[in-house]
A = this chain, B = another copy of it.
Amino acid sequence: MLIAILIYEKLTALDAVGPYEALAHIPGAEVIMVAPREGAVITDTGNLALVAGGTTADIAAADALIVPGGEGNRVLLDDERLLGWIQRVHEHTRVTASVCTGALLLGAAGLLEGRRATTHWAYRDELPKYGATPVAERVVRDGKVVTAAGVSAGIELGLTVAAELFGEDAAKAAELGIEYDPKPPFGTGSPERAPAEIVEAVRELERG
């Protein structure tokens, strides 16, 4: 079962590595990170790079396609070559998914038109541009398109994709394998629960 995770310059590392780790240890899962070009991909912090296992040119089809987010995808929203690749791979997937602002790339590829979807909380207002209805949930499924909230929600996205491709028992085992029994230390992980001044500071940082 082939799962392709698209990576690109200035992506957010955890957006890609969260679902990767949830899926990569499942027997029968072949999870590959693919980048538009060969070589290391520098993430949004500028001081960590991920090395893809292949390029988009190597992958014509996959059982699942996962598109992470990160500030680097803004310049890709009109990259017809990459959007065309996403559309072609999507045609034959069982699941096409995004984490965080990866949803904007799915949107730009036309895959969110008429669908319920989510993204990082600070970017939910971008979704209607792509014909999508924003939903404030961790993981939103509409047909075979599954979108996840910001950054850390990629772990839940990965486990959801795991259940779809490998069955619920495999996904439960994956959840245990990565000991995903979270206890957030501060309880401020959503804009609905964080203090207003922290929400505004983070929104400013995110949207500039």
Residues of A that sit less than 8 Å from B by CB: 12-14, 17-18, 20-21, 24-25, 31-33, 40, 45, 47-51, 53, 100, 120-121, 138-139, 149-153, 155-156, 159-160, 163, 168-169, 171-173, 175-186, 188-191, 193-195, 198-199, 201-202, 205-206
Contacts and interface: CB of A to CB of B under 8 A. Distances in A.
B179 A151 contact: yes
A150 B179 contact: yes
| A contact patch SS | mixed
29 contacts: A13-B21, A14-B155, A14-B178, A25-B45, A25-B205, A31-B45, A33-B47, A40-B49, A40-B51, A48-B50, A50-B50, A100-B179, A121-B179, A139-B185, A153-B179, A156-B182, A156-B183, A156-B185, A163-B186, A172-B195, A172-B198, A175-B186, A175-B189, A176-B202, A177-B202, A177-B205, A177-B206, A180-B184, A180-B189
Contacts of A151: 21, 177-180
